[in-house]
Amino acid sequence: MGRYSDSEEWADITPIAQNDGGPNPLAAIAYTEEYSEAMGYLRAIMAKNEKSERVLDLTEHIISMNPAHYTIWLYRANTLFELQKINQSNLQEDILEELHWLDGISLKHLKNYQIWHHRQTLITHLSTLPPTELSFLAQMFAKDAKNYHVWSYRQWLVRHFSLWDTELPYIETLLTSDVRNNSAWNHRWFVLFGQHVDPSSGKGMDEVGNIVDEDVLDREVQYTTEKIRLAPQNQSPWNYLRGLLRKRGSLLECKAFAEEFVGDMEGGGDGCRSSHALDFFADCMAEEKEAEKAGKALELLAKKFDPIRRNYWNYRRGLLGLGAVEA
């Protein structure tokens, strides 16, 4: 008994079996009978380039069994848009209905990038942001606040609909909830400086990043240092702070701030609250041509606070003309 072979609706279709390389394939994939049957009918449908309601039903069934099948998603999207033309239906309503169905799939399969490509394909056919889109993304982040596929999609969404001026409050809520959310720190940088980048230009944010208001830099430096005080051993805001200061050409503005966390370097680093502060302080000293002080910070990292990366810290000492240290 087959779902499609016993259906009058599909009686006109002769399924096309998968060719695994002859009657005795070397490494045939052990598909279930249900999946093999559905794919056989899909191959036949694609061979005749059929775009119909039953194709949407078929692709939905296959996606429920294998949501990572990119070809299925592409054929489903093409079918959806073709049916809209044939039926002269309301495209926006069709897309919103598809998005509603897609929400459930997305919440079930959190790390599936094909789902997000399909969503992006749908959204490009809309002139305005769907009213529930941002709240749905908030649901996704509630399940996994660092989901790469969702963040990549959100960046695209911000650029596509020019949401630059409304994103910061949401990022604030995420960082208030978890100051260690490196994805939120990355998105904050994108929102503030990515809007000056034309993706088609081939240039990165660093190449055009000087197009920025000094008041924004002042605000961000203050914001970041406040967040660092909450969790000094959190690397993300230290990296964010470096990026801000490099736009001004010098790290020295925050040298004294970093010193608050490095402890007694001559006393073996007693009181050190952040290895990232030591790293930052070393760069400040190197900028001031204080090689010995920079080297001391790097020595503490190599020997005590981050010995797993001893070779890297010794490489940094070598750039200052100093010898390597042993753990």
Which one from 111, 203, 289, 304 is the annotated catalytic residue?
Answer: 111
Q: What is the dihedral of CA 204, 207, 212, 216, to 10 degrees?
A: 60
Close Cβ partners of 224 (under 8 Å, ≥ 6 residues apart): 237, 240, 241, 244
Residue ranges in the chain assigned as alpha helix (H): 33-47, 53-65, 70-87, 91-108, 113-123, 133-143, 148-161, 168-177, 182-193, 205-208, 214-230, 235-246, 255-262, 275-287, 291-300, 310-319
Nearest to 262 by CA among 279, 246, 249: 279
Residue 152: other Cβ atoms inside 10 A: 14
Catalytic residue flag (residue 111): yes
How far apart CA 305 and CA 325 sit, in angstroms, is: 13
Q: 119, 102 in Cβ contact below 8 A?
A: yes
Round to the nearest angstrom and report the end-to-end CA distance of the chain: 68
Active site residues: 111
